[in-house]
Structure formats: C-alpha cells, structure tokens
Amino acid sequence: MEFLSNIMLEALRFFAFFGGYGWGIVWLTIAVNLALYPLTLTSVKSMGAMQRLQPRLQELQKKYKDKPAELQKETMDAYKAEGVNPLAGVYRS
C-alpha cells in the first residue's frame, strides 16, 4: 500500500509544480478518473443491461418459484439471449 501512496504523492508533486497543490489535486483527480474510465464504462454498460433485463428475470422467478433448476436454466438463457454477462462488473485477472 505504501508503494501506491508514494506514486500518488509523486504525481501530486508533479502536478503541483504547475500551479500549487490546489491545482495539483484537481489535475491528479482528472488523471485518475481518466485512467479508470474504461473500467467505469464497462461497469455502467453492464448495470444498464441488467436493469433492462430485470423485469424478465422477475417474471421467470414468479413462473419457476418452485423449480430452482429450471429457473437457473431459464435465467442463463435470458442472459445469453440479451448478451449480458452477470459477472461483467467483477474484476477479471
């Protein structure tokens, strides 16, 4: 963890060179957000797709409430039909 904090401190000092620590914090925040943007975009797209699919999943839960194996199969079929990965928001290494 100290490694990461040292990198952030050096980046803050670099950005502070161009206008003080106040502007350094602003520029560092922008840089971090730009670096994390691809992950954020993927997560937002996945959440939107899951929200669009939610009414269908609720119907399936009502229809197959006493048949968990069929519910699981139909749920996975719904994910495949919509092109949704239920684990898309989870970090993949």
Q: What pLDDT is attached to residue 73?
A: 92
Can you give the pLDDT at residue 90? 60
State the virtual CA torsion across 30, 33, 38, 40 in degrees, nearest 10: -140
**Number of neighbours of residue 24 by Cβ within 10 angstroms:** 18
Res 89: pLDDT = 57
pLDDT value of position 8? 93
**What pTM was computed for the model?**
0.61
pLDDT under 70 in the chain at which residues? 88-93
Residue with tokens 């952030």: 8
- In the chain, the amino acid numbered 24 is G
Measured CA distances, 43 to 12, 39, 82 (Å): 27, 6, 16
Note the pLDDT of residue 93: 44
- A 10 A CB-CB count for 70 gives 12
At 82 the pLDDT is 83
